């Protein structure tokens, strides 16, 4: 009788293990969203962007990629007034930036030089 219980216990554990191995893992995939606007402020952990809907705050993490053209930037390189596009995911009320693309600064306007009429 003891052998039967042992055998049944082994079969139940083996069946549970096999089912766990074949069941597909469900992963929560957050939808990425983009928003563009003007940087209001930025520090090592937060970016505030003025967009059409108003000011929006994004968490910055070690995984957030920040670029300007081909140049990789850090959060401290972000300057108020720069135009940027933020790709983010939202979990509850928390928006986390996955990528920040800063627009290239406009070249300075050259002063027109010409001859002064006499």
Instruction: State yes or no: pLDDT of 2 exceeds 50.
Output: yes
Higher-pLDDT residue of 114, 46: 46
Residue labelled with tokens 């083996």: 14
Instruction: State yes or no: pLDDT of 118 exceeds 80.
Output: no
Higher-pLDDT residue of 107, 32: 32
Give the pLDDT confidence score for residue 108 in this predicted structure. Answer: 75
Fold classification of 33-102 (topology level): OB fold (Dihydrolipoamide Acetyltransferase, E2P) (2.40.50)
CA distance 45 to 59: 6
| Predicted confidence band of residue 3 (pLDDT cuts 50, 70, 90) | low
Query: Mean pLDDT in the chain?
Result: 81
CA distance 33 to 24: 27
* 82 touches 41 (CB < 8 A): no
Q: Residue-wise over 43-79: b if at least 16 C-beta within 10 A, else e?
A: eeeebbbeeeeeebebebeeebebebeeeeeebeebe
Overall pTM surpassing 0.75 (yes/no): no
* 17-71 per-position pLDDT tens digit: 444 454 444 445 668 899 999 999 999 999 999 999 999 999 999 999 999 999 9
Q: What are phi and psi of 112, to 5 degrees?
A: -75, 135
* 74 touches 39 (CB < 8 A): no
Q: What percent of the chain has pLDDT over 90?
A: 60
Domain coordinates in residue numbering, the chain = 33-102
């Amino acid at each position: 009788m003891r052998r039967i219980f042992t055998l049944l216990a082994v079969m139940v554990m083996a069946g549970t293990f096999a089912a766990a191995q074949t069941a597909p893992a469900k992963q929560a995939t957050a939808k990425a969203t983009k928003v563009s606007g003007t940087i209001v402020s930025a520090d090592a952990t937060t970016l505030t962007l003025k967009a059409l809907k108003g000011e929006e705050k994004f968490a910055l993490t070690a995984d957030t990629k920040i670029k300007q053209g081909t140049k990789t930037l850090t959060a401290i390189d972000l300057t108020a007034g720069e135009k940027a596009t933020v790709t983010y995911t939202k979990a509850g009320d928390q928006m986390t930036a996955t990528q920040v693309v800063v627009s290239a600064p406009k070249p300075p306007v050259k002063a027109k030089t010409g001859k002064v009429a006499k």
